[in-house]
Structure 1
């Protein structure tokens, strides 16, 4: 045997050894999948435009800083920013300034936006870790790696992971809280004595969990529901096992105190607007969010409907249209299998399933029954998607484990799942970097949504339109924007004045300026119908569907 052949045999042997090590190590498989997701995300983070709200959250840091420095109430426009936490925005801005130099002048520019997008995506990786943890509990650690893969194939979650500075952190922390609270409940369920205050494992973990719930609440006030989720799950398990003892309610009270105190401290610290009167601010915040008065209209089923008058099935329909069909089927199978297997679950598995069930169904059901004001499709409910991914991924593991004993059938099942994953990946690639406008094939896809449902409602495609204007316009040509004007300004040439013409009520106010100028409009509120006398110069198009359009007015 030649030296080359010998080396080739050694190389193949090493590859085989490494392959076996990876396949037999559940943690390593999961880490590799999350690393792959991170690599893809980091390599594409610079492709995304700016969402409508992002400039507000960048400026929010400065507004809070000025409020603290001057010891004055927070003055913002819109005024509801006083109800939003700043911890993640401050973290992003602090890291940016550590890299680029300290300054009290915070300007919305492309470099700052890129940095914020990168950190938002990196933070979202905790959601993938959490889903892997949940699947590991429900289905076994060998199948944990499927969880993050399924979550990455939820286009609405993936798309928002780069530019949504509020809903993605909330969804990530919600998933993390669901996963870790299962261990908290399981830990308490095994106690047969009263908890002793002190420097012990159960007290420390409970306090740390309270800090986590505080951070969740700082992302959105709705995070405080875990103050109820945890004791509810604990009591439910105790009732099921008929193990209600004299210690049960004492431990609930002690555990609740250990969670609430750090939760209250962290929530208050993360909301500077609350510092003057935290209790009053908290109840005002809950009232504001439960009775949110948004005066806009929503394109739903081909009609413009006020956000507070939408039919009860608005949210369910959006979920069925925007979650890939095969993941919906796997989710429903997973629910059925969970209920079938529930009696054989361990305490940890039972607590995990109950908490995931609450994550997916409780708040959406409350919003539907209450008739809450809704808009932007599933954006406000992105936090349910990690739970859907976890149940869907678990169903894959359970089906592979128990229902298919034949090796041939298992191979066929794996090939089927892989082909379905490949189909969703292909659909996502075709609309990149606008994955957040994904509609599944059964609903008619993106082409079927035109004129019936919102597509690029956050105006991400403004970036691509503005970059076209930069290449094709003469110096000094003005650009009128009906949409998020800051999104255009960030990417505009320095010699191209950008003028916002959309008033707070969503109506166009045409300025008296000389022609020529460009008109740039997002696909929302029929804004693209304005300036009919101007010719279409450019359209951002995905799958034959126009997003932002550019008109040249001579």
Structure 2
């Protein structure tokens, strides 16, 4: 028995160790995303505010900064690393800064995957099977790639998963220590993104269940539950304010303002959706669900649908009996984790853009329900004469898709952020956004300096921001040779990134001399006019 436990522990550690090695090998391959300089600036604003308070100066009016209502739990420490670790001043960055930033982002996401493994062990009670949701996450091309450079959505996914894990442990054994630890985890989630507040109703609801429907034999009494809830709320509130300088002057009113802004984020851009340019403020309700379906391997969301249905049937058929069990409470938590954020976004008419990235944090719940649903179907079907071969066939098809997804990830590297699960490249080009992160500009710039090893290179682009961001990957001498111009023309290159653009590149801007493709999908064209 002890030998088997040791083997399982070694297997899990080896698995995560391999992921760590894989991340170290790949971290230098990804470009700089559109938002990273903006996120860095947010950390700088908070650092200046802290410095003013420390030195007794008139504090910088942090509430007037446009992104001050975005948490800085990652950005503030990253700013300190840049200033005191790398000697960078202000908004100054270099290649090492982004390598460290991407490496730390991946490490934090890996920590979130550790929490996902912990949740799977609690629900499935099989350590070997509990690694499957983590493996499915790694074989989710978009989310794996964004685990290196998306320090907003993927970092929030990680800390929300940690918060859900600490909640599950609190529900399993309600103690003061676990309540306080969960309060800190909740604060960390809120200090990355305000939607971390969802952990509060999840927590209070499950603690209420623990008080009203104690798990045999016995359980915490209502008074104990109330005390734990109070301790949790105090820890969460105190740590949230401590970790977010924007809140210090007036915590409650600024938190409400931040929530109001989040509910109706004032982004006025257009997105390409089903072949039409749509105002982000007026997107149809199905924008988020459709993007989830077309960018997630089909087997994952089909299995998650089965898991969701089985969990709902169990809860509806015998609600009191099911909710007295730990597994039933976890099923309720996972269902709420997956469905409630979509319901809130649809009900509040919240602004989404760049796919469903603002809702990525529900993805671990989808994977947990998928594996749980698959296991339950297998346990039920293997005893049936007809069910066993049917499930075996479905399992083989799912395994085939997993293998194909892994092959596609290798072929697409380092552009897995434009993975679509079942659409053809032509359907994607005509109907949906492609490289909205602007990462392909790195490959475009690297091509230009290879093509012209000496002399100035005159370059225009559809989007100046990602072009400028990715100059950092060139040598200082090559950066000096890139001359940015406003418009394409004779003797100039034009980098066309296809953001909010259906079909081929526009005519009259030159001929294509180079294209960045991801598994056949064109995501950047380098045009040249002689």
Which residue matches 2:55? none
In 2, the alpha carbon distance for the partners of 1:389 and 1:176 equals 15
1:521 aligns with 2:496: yes
Structure 1 pair 33–392 and aligned structure 2 pair: CA distance change class (3 A): farther
Aligned with 2:176 (options 187, 194, 203): 203
- 1:76-87 to structure 2, matched below 5 A, reads 79-87=65-73
Q: Are 2:438 and 1:438 equivalent residues in the alignment?
A: no
Relative to structure 1, the CA distance from residue 251 to residue 23 in structure 2 (aligned partners, 3 Å threshold; closer, same or farther) is closer
Q: Equivalents in 2 of 1:393, 1:299: separation in Å? A: 33
Counterpart secondary structure, 1:337: helix
CA distance in 2, matches of 1:107, 1:309: 37
Q: Distance in 2 between matches of 1:340 and 1:24?
A: 37
Aligned: 1:546 with 2:529: no
Moved more, 285-294 or 133-142: 133-142
Identify if the C-alpha distance between structure 1 residues 487 and 126 changes in structure 2 by more than 3 Å, giving closer, same or farther.
Answer: same
SS of residue matched to 1:108: coil
Within the alignment, does 1:145 sit opposite 2:125 as a pair?
no
Residue 429 in structure 1 maps to residue 410 in structure 2: yes
Work out the CA distance in 2 between the residues paired with 1:259 and 1:368: 30
Change (3 A) 1:431 1:242: closer
* 2:104 is the alignment partner of 1:119: yes
Q: CA deviation at 1:384?
A: 0.9
Pairing 1:416-495 to 2, within 5 Å after superposition = 417-441=398-422, 444-473=423-452, 474-483=454-463, 484-492=466-474, 493-495=478-480
Give the structure-1-normalised TM-score.
Answer: 0.83
SS in 1 for 2:173: helix
Any idea what SS the aligned residue of 1:540 has?
strand
- Contact 1:83-1:271 at 8 Å conserved across structures: no
The corresponding residue for 1:177 is 163
The answer to whether structure 1 residue 129 and structure 2 residue 114 are counterparts is yes
Cα displacement (A) at 1:205: 1.9
**Contact between 2:43 and 2:78, CA under 8 Å: does it hold in 1?**
no
Using the TM superposition, name which of 290-299 and 327-336 deviates more.
Answer: 327-336
| Correspondence for 1:107 | 92
User: Cα gap change, 1:470/1:295 in structure 2, threshold over 3 Å: closer, same or farther?
Assistant: same
Aligned-partner SS, 2:149: coil
SS in structure 2 at match of 1:537: strand
Deviations 1:45-65 (A, max 9, x none): 111111100112223332322
| Residue equivalent to 2:60 | 73
Q: Residue by residue, what CA displacement relative to the aligned partner does 1:305-339 show, whole Å, maximum 9, x if unpaired? A: 10121111111111111111111121122223334
| 2:344 pairs with 1:366 | yes
Picking from 6, 18, 37, the partner of 2:19 is 37
Offset from partner CA, 1:88-143 (integer Å, 9 cap, x none)? 1233344456654x454442222211111111111111222122122212211332
Change (3 A) 1:242 1:109: closer
Report the CA distance between 1:426 and its aligned residue. Answer: 1.5
More moved, 308-317 vs 54-63:
54-63
Deviation of residue 396 (structure 1)?
3.4
Going from structure 1 to structure 2, the CA distance change for 1:421 and 1:309 (only over 3 Å counts) comes to: same
Structure 1 residue 433, shift from structure 2 partner: 1.4
CA RMSD of aligned residues (A): 3.1
Instruction: Pick closer, same or farther for the CA change 1:270–1:41 going to 2, 3 Å.
Output: same
C-alpha distance in structure 2 between counterparts of 1:129 and 1:364, whole Å: 25
Q: Distance between the aligned counterparts of 1:308 and 1:248, measured in 2?
A: 47
Deviations 1:23-79 (A, max 9, x none): 9843333333222333222211111111100112223332322233234335699x4
**Given the superposition, is the C-alpha separation of residues 140 and 303 from structure 1 closer, same or farther in structure 2, using an over 3 Å criterion?**
same
Instruction: Tell me whether 1:397 sits opposite 2:375 in the alignment.
Output: yes
Name 1:64's counterpart in structure 2: 46
Q: Secondary structure at the match of 2:449?
A: helix
- Cα shift readout 1:247-289 (whole Å, capped 9, x = no counterpart): 8654454223212222222222322222222222111101110
Structure 1 residues 182 and 540, CA gap change in structure 2 (3 angstroms): same
Conserved 8 A contact 2:461-2:494:
yes
Structure 2 residue aligned with 1:161: 147
The residue that corresponds to 1:496 in the other structure is: 481
1:376 corresponds to 2:354: yes
> Do structure 1's residue 535 and structure 2's residue 517 form an aligned pair?
no
Shift of 1:382: 0.6
What is the alpha-carbon distance in structure 1 between the residues aligned to residue 310 and residue 509 of structure 2? Answer: 59
Mapped to 1, the partners of 2:393 and 2:285 lie a distance apart of 40
Deviation at 1:359?
1.2
TM-score, scaled relative to structure 2: 0.87
Aligned residues: 507
State the distance in 2 between where 1:448 and 1:23 align: 49
Counterparts of 1:35 and 1:456, CA distance in 2: 30
Structure 1 alignment gaps of length 5 or more: 1-19, 189-201, 502-509
